[in-house]
A and B are shown apart, each in its own frame.
Chain A
């Protein structure tokens, strides 16, 4: 779960890292009021959970309240990387003497936290790594030992930070603490700036909360940016189902992420177009009925493909729930089944007895039949 800048910065502040004075504004009037209250030249920054805001024109300088209002007027409602700007952060503007980079991230390769620091802030980490690799330092952290001042000093030694060396090292330690205290997946400060007035301040901040950490960070997660979802996707989420809407015409219902992705892949490989991704694996395997309703409520769906290969998810339970729903909803669409794995003998017998259909012997057989049915129904396939 990604956090917008205004929601991420308080995490730094709580860990003792200075941030600029600022105020969130959702309208031109609020932006003007914020600039008035700050009483200094400001910068008006679009709040979206995406990078490259400056290049998109989403960050503007303003010398007073009137200019801040004008900037907010230009930015609010703008679309940046698919996100509509609903709010701006109005912050004090200061002269910058030096820009650094600092981040902590979950590193899959080392299976532990990775701290990164550079004397070259203000550009993307990818850019720093490509253009000035010798200015980028990486420290793998033993999560059981933690990351202390000594480790921070060692990693930035030789970067030429001069008198900023000690405060930057302290910032890195504080950043690591904030990352640990908040189930971070990524916590990045870029730039970490030495201002003309001498303060070391986090001018921008990105935070991604580990989705599996949300269950113990309820309060924190309320500050995160929800994913942009369609109406059906929102309904799926509320039901605890992972439903992703696509633009094809074959409704897909599978169990497990890997199998459901594969179902979509093979539909595409054989020339068809999936209408959705929907899996009822894991603990969701008892939710066949709401899942079926979700797939059928997409008006583009011309036929339905059910692909179960039970491991943890029992196909007898899933199929039973599906048949109950099918009987209750009595849809007129053709439906094709491939059912194997845990509980499949019972599931296949149920399908024959209650729906009068025989599941296909292979997934590919069911997919080929579904593609033909979608074509016949005049879909875009």
Chain B
């Protein structure tokens, strides 16, 4: 799911306010946006690229490798189906509040067609110096800089803070993979960790997790098999149990999804879990020797 500058990107929902704002930002950064979708404005041009009636039409007209969805929650399932049926191999779903049963359906469609889904409720993907897809501040040079640390984050804002701390400590990123804050997402922490483990331009990985679910525990299992160093920060240590902390996925129920469970699992895998993101530089220098 790492994006590269050769990837051709389709923007579903390109003509909306946010679609437009972020398409311009992506283009300015070097992302190869090749087309957009809006059935009502098909045949026109927007942000300098053709607007198509569907992802299927875009596939025939320009072809594309990645589709990014700026689509309201209740339209996401249909838009994802459109992209998957068009033969899209990678979808980045930014939308928050997509009904979970819709998410399960679209993930099943993707599985059946061999497509990878990142999100929903992700801030997207960044490969500093190459391109970005979504709404991360790739263009802010104090946050993103080319380097050799891979970052996996459930949160966009916290992911950006972690990247800022990396740059402040003299590091840069090989790739940022936003996996999304929903309880069910297409790409898990473990999936992203496997990808960064296999990535030759990544020397170390930072896992940015949060309370709720068991993705960090699951990733810790895989981390045991890795030779690359991994450090982690888990948000939500001071959050009251039983409350949904902004992200639908961030809720502690009973003893499931707790901070303690995640920290214990990660530490058992030899991963240092930071008390504050500002310890990141020190921890990475130590981990990389």
Contacts and interface: CB of A to CB of B under 8 A. Distances in A.
B27 interface: no
Given A144-B112, A244-B243, A362 B278 contact: yes
A184 B104 CA distance: 12
Interface in A151-182: 180
A282 B156 CA distance: 10
A5 interface: no
A259 B157 contact: yes
A354 interface: no
Given A144-B108, A258-B210, A310-B137, A183 B156 contact: no
A261 B246 contact: yes
Contacts of A268: 237-238
Contact of A311 (B136, B239, B250): B136
B73 A212 contact: yes
A55 interface: no
A212 B104 contact: no
Contacts of B214: 108-109
Given A106-B184, A342-B137, A264 B210 contact: no
Given A311-B136, A340-B142, A246 B240 contact: yes
B183 A108 contact: yes
A210 B250 CA distance: 14
B232 to A, nearest CB: 13
B140 A340 contact: yes
Contacts of A180: 101
Interface in B2-24: 18
Contacts of A192: none
A261 B250 contact: yes
B213, B235, B250, B278 — most chain A CB neighbours (10 Å) = B235
A151 to B, nearest CB: 16
Given A111-B184, A258-B156, A364 B276 contact: yes
A142 B109 CA distance: 10
A251 interface: no
A210 B246 contact: no
Contact of A341 (B99, B112, B164, B236): B164
A309 B236 contact: no
A264 B240 CA distance: 11
Given A108-B213, A212-B99, A258 B277 contact: no
B108 A108 contact: no
A185 B100 contact: yes
A84 to B, nearest CB: 17
A312 B135 contact: yes
B137 A265 contact: no
B46 interface: no
Contacts of B233: 262
A284 to B, nearest CB: 10
Given A258-B210, A261-B239, A244 B161 contact: no
B25 to A, nearest CB: 9
Nearest to B94: A312
Nearest to A112: B104
A254 interface: yes
Contact of A310 (B96, B160, B244): B160
Interface in B236-288: 236-240, 243-248, 250, 275-278
A211 B108 CA distance: 21
Interface in B95-127: 96-101, 103-105, 107-109, 112, 123
A362 B172 CA distance: 17
A269 B135 contact: no
A111, A183, A185, A213 — most chain B CB neighbours (10 Å) = A111
B153 interface: yes
B226 interface: no
A340 B277 CA distance: 14
Given A216-B74, A311-B123, A341-B164, A258 B158 contact: yes
Given A108-B184, A268-B237, A312-B123, A258 B153 contact: yes
Nearest to A342: B137
A269 to B, nearest CB: 5
A95 interface: no
A341 B105 contact: no
Contact of A279 (B161, B238, B246, B248): B246
A274 B238 contact: yes
A310 B250 CA distance: 20
Interface string A201-237: 0000000001111011000000000000000000000
B140 A266 contact: no
Nearest to A282: B96
B31 interface: no
B237 A265 contact: yes
Nearest to B97: A212
B246 A256 contact: yes
B128 interface: no
B248 A211 contact: yes
A142 B99 contact: no
A266 B98 CA distance: 31
Contact of A262 (B112, B186, B235): B235
Contacts of B250: 257-258, 261
B158 A256 contact: yes
Interface in A95-110: 106, 108-109
A344 B94 CA distance: 22
Contacts of B112: 144
A261 B105 contact: no
B244 A363 contact: no
A311 B159 contact: yes
18 contacts: A106-B101, A111-B107, A180-B101, A212-B73, A216-B99, A257-B181, A258-B181, A258-B235, A261-B211, A261-B250, A262-B161, A262-B235, A262-B277, A310-B137, A311-B123, A312-B135, A342-B135, A362-B165
Q: Which 3 A-B pairs have the closest CB atoms?
A: A258-B155, A256-B157, A257-B246
Interface of A: 106, 108-109, 111-113, 142-144, 180, 183-185, 210-213, 215-216, 242, 244, 246, 254-262, 264-270, 274, 277, 279, 281-282, 309-313, 340-342, 344, 361-364
